[in-house]
Amino acid sequence: MDEVRYDELMKKRGTSGLSDTEANELGKLMAEKKGQTYGGAAARKEAFDAAADEEQLRREHTGSEGHTAPRDARGGGTPSGTQPGAGV
């Protein structure tokens, strides 16, 4: 690993900030230092989008659970065309 370049990028990250290219380069160096693979920002975005899609599906599914039909559709409640309390 290029320790000099790593130090340069870490310093720049804390001051003026990094370009996308430099951020990817630093990410690769950091992963290399930890003995891990680096997928880059695009891989993180894909993972984030997939998680967001899964969360949306979960919310849609959860929102429909426990839903029941209106009382008059089940045969109970007031007959169609009448108001509750009418004729009391």
pLDDT tens by residue, 7-34: 999 999 999 999 989 999 999 999 999 9
| End-to-end Cα spacing for the chain | 86
Residues 6+ apart with CB under 8 A from 10: 26
Q: What is the pTM of this model?
A: 0.46
Q: How many CB atoms are located within 10 Å of the residue 29 CB?
A: 19
| Beta strand residue intervals within the chain, DSSP E | none
d(CA 6, CA 77) in angstroms, rounded, equals 72
The structure tokens 């429909």 sit at 64
